[in-house]
């Protein structure tokens, strides 16, 4: 194809929507990447000729399966499970498993697509995948969760392996669920391999895996601020979510001298003008992980704080923000409010928490804005290190892993700066930088393989 015959961006996106009907999240994720890649590959004929972006936006395979289980009352329940294997050009498929009633094929395809770029950015040899089920772990007993996880693995085990596809946790899947799934995998295959990451420390897990995503998102924020000779110390911060990513981001913000004002869950957000200190964060971790309670309970424990039912925290004025709950939780209007309130830096702990309109608001305002595929890559990075430790039958010490995590986040930041420069702007376009750096690595590997 001659360069002049290339389809334009709008035609490309229309094709993605046509081929993936009813999958808006997937089309949104592809569009966010394509906006930058079209510009980058304009004069690079080989990427056009070999249809690289079109191929990355078509998963290698999507596996969908029935998951039956029995609840505690003896009722038979039926859920749908998936594994999306997006691209394994640079390593085995790698990406989390999500259990949440909102899980659909579209959500998992967007996550697997994003994961492909994120994993490339880490510099570790990992391809992109994602999986999950429309199962709601909330309100379920331990035994119900165990039976569900076992049934889910009864099908999934055929499609994964230490050199094939290595799942991890995500929303609704933490240490407990990984334990049940790993136990069932081992039982079915009679094999101990590093087939899942996020494992318990007693059976091959890596130190700091639990903390890595939240800590990494804060390190990325610190790296962005450093380019403006600024830092986190003394700044106010709004955070959404109260799960793994949100609580560890809050912990690290406290350690670096920032003041966390909010946390949230799917029912609303809490605002604590006195600041959510490390001690209070520990209370939230206990509430969420052990008692499996709701964030609204915070106000009973800590007087002076407020609960805002059914709302997100973006109206609370703060200098920094870490959206760390779920996709599309921060809209264009939210972004405009934040910019008007003096927000100078946003680091996405969650995957695609900002709508496309919101992303454009942040970009136009030229604030420091880190997309999830760069900012939240700390978790999968330590997962990659967990895979290495399992293969080598070793376990690294915490200090070594902390150093590696900080190094990897600094490397991702440097890649974004390399490819995200904007003429006439003092601020790096981190979205563009992350998209191009991630794309280039995967694309060049694909070129080496020819048409497969």
Is residue 372 within 8 A of residue 263, CB to CB? The reply is: no
Binding flag, residue 25, ligand NDP (CB under 6 A)? no
* Residue whose beta carbon is closest to ligand NDP: 243
Is 280 catalytic? The answer is: no
Burial class (CB in 10 A: 0-12, 13-18, 19+), 339: middle
- Count residues contacting ligand NDP (CB under 6 A)? 25
Q: Which of 60, 170, 272, 386 binds ligand NDP (CB under 6 A)?
A: 170
Residue 91 or 198: the one with the smaller Cβ distance to ligand NDP is 198
Binding mask 198-237 toward ligand NDP (x if CB under 6 A, else -) reads ---------------x------------------------
Q: How many CB atoms lie within 10 A of CB 196?
A: 30
Residue 204 or 379: the one with the smaller Cβ distance to ligand NDP is 379
Binding flag, residue 169, ligand NDP (CB under 6 A)? yes
Binding flag, residue 408, ligand NDP (CB under 6 A)? no
> At its nearest, how many Å lie between ligand NDP and the CB of residue 410?
18
Binding flag, residue 305, ligand NDP (CB under 6 A)? no
Determine which one of 118, 130, 235, 280 is catalytic: 130
**Contact region for ligand NDP (CB under 6 A) — 32-40, 139-147, 150-158, 168-176?**
168-176
> At its nearest, how many Å lie between ligand NDP and the CB of residue 323?
9
Binding flag, residue 107, ligand NDP (CB under 6 A)? no
Q: Which of 30, 107, 124, 171 binds ligand NDP (CB under 6 A)?
A: 171
- CA distances to 38, 57, 352 from 33, rounded to whole Å, are 9, 10, 11
Binding flag, residue 153, ligand NDP (CB under 6 A)? no
> At its nearest, how many Å lie between ligand NDP and the CB of residue 250?
11
- CA distances to 99, 222, 294, 332, 413 from 377, rounded to whole Å, are 20, 15, 27, 24, 11
Residue 218 or 446: the one with the smaller Cβ distance to ligand NDP is 218
Q: Which of 92, 379, 384, 438 binds ligand NDP (CB under 6 A)?
A: 379
- C-alpha–C-alpha distance, residues 398 and 212, integer Å: 12
The label of the residue with tokens 């405009």 reads 336
> At its nearest, how many Å lie between ligand NDP and the CB of residue 246?
6
Binding flag, residue 370, ligand NDP (CB under 6 A)? no
Binding flag, residue 36, ligand NDP (CB under 6 A)? no
Residues 314-343 that bind ligand NDP (CB under 6 A): 324-326, 329
Binding flag, residue 241, ligand NDP (CB under 6 A)? yes
Binding flag, residue 313, ligand NDP (CB under 6 A)? no
Binding flag, residue 137, ligand NDP (CB under 6 A)? no
Residue 95 or 258: the one with the smaller Cβ distance to ligand NDP is 95
Residue 48 or 118: the one with the smaller Cβ distance to ligand NDP is 118
Binding flag, residue 355, ligand NDP (CB under 6 A)? no
Residues 46-105 that bind ligand NDP (CB under 6 A): 100, 102
Would you please indicate which residues are annotated as catalytic (active-site) residues?
130
Please give the residue ranges that form the binding site for ligand NDP (CB under 6 A).
100, 102, 169-172, 213, 241-246, 265-267, 324-326, 329, 349-351, 376, 379
């Amino acid at each position: 194809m001659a360069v002049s015959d290339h389809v334009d961006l709008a035609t490309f996106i229309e094709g993605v929507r046509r081929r993936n009907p009813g999958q808006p999240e997937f089309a949104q994720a592809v569009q966010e990447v394509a906006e930058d890649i079209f510009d980058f590959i304009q004069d690079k004929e080989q990427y056009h000729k070999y249809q690289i972006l079109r191929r990355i936006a078509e998963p290698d395979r999507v596996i969908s399966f029935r998951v039956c289980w029995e609840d505690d009352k003896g009722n038979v329940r039926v859920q749908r499970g998936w594994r999306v294997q997006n691209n394994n050009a640079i390593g085995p498929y790698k990406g989390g498993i999500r259990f949440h009633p909102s899980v659909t094929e579209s959500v998992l395809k967007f996550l697997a697509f994003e994961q492909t770029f994120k994993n490339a950015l880490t510099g570790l040899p990992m391809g992109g995948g994602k999986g999950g089920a429309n199962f709601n772990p909330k309100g379920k007993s331990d035994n119900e969760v165990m039976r569900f996880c076992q049934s889910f693995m009864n099908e999934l085990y055929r499609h994964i392996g230490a050199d094939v596809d290595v799942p991890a946790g995500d929303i609704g899947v933490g240490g407990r669920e990984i334990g049940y799934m790993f136990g069932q995998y081992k039982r079915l295959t009679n094999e101990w391999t590093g087939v899942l990451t996020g494992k318990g420390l007693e059976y091959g897990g890596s130190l700091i895996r639990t903390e890595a995503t939240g800590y990494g998102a804060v390190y990325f924020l610190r790296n962005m601020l450093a380019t403006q000779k600024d830092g986190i110390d003394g700044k106010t911060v709004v955070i959404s979510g109260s799960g793994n990513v949100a609580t560890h981001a809050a912990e690290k913000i406290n350690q670096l001298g920032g003041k966390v004002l909010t946390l949230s869950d799917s029912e609303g957000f809490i605002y604590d003008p006195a600041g959510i200190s490390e001690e209070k964060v520990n209370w939230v971790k206990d509430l969420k992980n052990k008692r499996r309670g709701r964030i609204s309970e915070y106000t009973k424990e800590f007087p002076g704080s407020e609960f805002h039912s059914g709302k997100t925290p973006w109206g609370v004025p703060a200098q920094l923000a870490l959206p760390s709950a779920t996709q599309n939780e921060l809209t264009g209007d939210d972004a405009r409010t934040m910019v008007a309130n003096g927000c100078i830096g946003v680091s996405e702990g969650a995957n695609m928490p900002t709508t496309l309109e919101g992303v454009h608001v942040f970009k136009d305002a030229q604030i420091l804005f880190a997309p999830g595929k760069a900012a939240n890559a700390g978790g999968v990075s330590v997962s990659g290190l967990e895979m290495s430790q399992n293969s080598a039958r070793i376990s690294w010490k915490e200090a070594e892993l902390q150093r590696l995590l900080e190094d990897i986040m600094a490397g991702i930041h440097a890649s974004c700066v390399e490819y995200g420069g904007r003429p006439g702007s003092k601020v790096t376009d981190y979205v563009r930088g992350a998209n191009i750096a991630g794309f280039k690595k995967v694309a060049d590997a694909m070129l080496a393989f020819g048409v497969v």
